[in-house]
Homo-oligomer: A and B are copies of this chain.
Amino acid sequence: MNKLPLRAGVIGASGYAGQELVQLLARHPSIRLAFATSESGAGKPLPGGGRYVSVNDAPFDSVDVVFSCLPTGESGAWALRAAEAGVLSIDLSSDLRDPASGAVYGLPELWRDEIRNARLIANPGCYPTSALLALAPAVRAGIVDLTRPVIVDAASGVTGAGRTPRRDLLFGEVAEDFRAYGVGNKHRHVPEIALGLSRVGGEAPSFIFTPHLLPVRRGILETIYLPLTESLSVEAAFELWSSTYADEPFVEIETEGLPTLRSVVGRNVVSVGFAAIDVEQPTLLVVAAIDNLLKGAAGQALQNANIALGLAETEGLLL
């Protein structure tokens, strides 16, 4: 490991994920922010001190890790450039999540070993993070009824859609509304979830994913209808999920009650709870919640950085 404190750069630091990373780094005991880029903010003061620079002026080779937080379509290219400069590079967009990119998919609770030696990490999407962590124990255990699709009905706060101005994200449009979007398995996170399910071990189920836009700032709740070959009690579900994630610091399996947005916002965790359903065909209700900007973006990126840099995985993340 390099000399402490390590140095980090954040590309796209005025977006929601970038802002969150800047705040997390301000409290990190072993990493400090060396630069933060913003094209619109270049030259302006950065909250917490210093000034934004243009990404073109960012000294990639002077840091130990670069986080690229630009919108999908722009972010990956900068992450690749940072990786070429020889530093650990973590991309928060969708750009490098296809294995063809050569990046390691950074979902630590499922594939931690690959992350330890990675130099280029594709940080998972917010919806896939919660879906994969919620479903992996059942898929691995082979208890899913593969003749029925898993239903992942999801709802996200608006910061999940980024900070670029769009009419449909104006307060006047979102407040007092609720709508489905990207329906019919057309959301770009669908192949990411499919790929993840195919890799967790066991036979991957088919699934239907329907996201909705919530009039809240942050948080994702996924209400999952999991078809099972046989009935499973809530207690047995708790045991199965708990044993899968024993010792995981950022996974919370609820013994009673279900997670809510409120229960996870502000913390780098996924929270998973269960309910039995009184219906003929064995089906378990699984509810998973994350803060889309923490475990769904900046928090998980920092978790990945901690692992790949040889630091304690929880450093700066026990909020």
Q: Which of A166-183 contact B (CB under 8 A)?
A: 166-167, 169-180, 183
Q: CA A151 – CA B210 in complex, angstroms?
A: 12
24 contacts between A and B (CB under 8 A): A16-B172, A148-B281, A149-B279, A151-B151, A155-B212, A158-B171, A163-B170, A169-B170, A170-B170, A171-B173, A171-B174, A175-B175, A175-B215, A176-B217, A176-B261, A177-B261, A178-B216, A178-B221, A184-B275, A184-B278, A186-B278, A206-B281, A208-B225, A225-B225
Interface assignment of A147: CB less than 8 Å from any CB of chain B: yes
Q: CA A227 – CA B173 in complex, angstroms?
A: 32
Interface assignment of A265: CB less than 8 Å from any CB of chain B: yes
Query: Given contacts A151-B151, A277-B185, is CB(A262)–CB(B171) below 8 Å?
Result: no
Q: Is the CB of B174 within 8 A of A277?
A: no
How often does this chain occur in the complex, in copies?
A: 4
Interface assignment of A138: CB less than 8 Å from any CB of chain B: no
Q: CA A170 – CA B213 in complex, angstroms?
A: 14
Contacts of A216 in B (CB 8 A): 175-178, 215
Q: How many residues of A contact B (CB 8 A)?
A: 61
- Residue-by-residue, is A186-202 near B (CB-CB < 8 Å gives 1, otherwise 0)? 10000000000000000
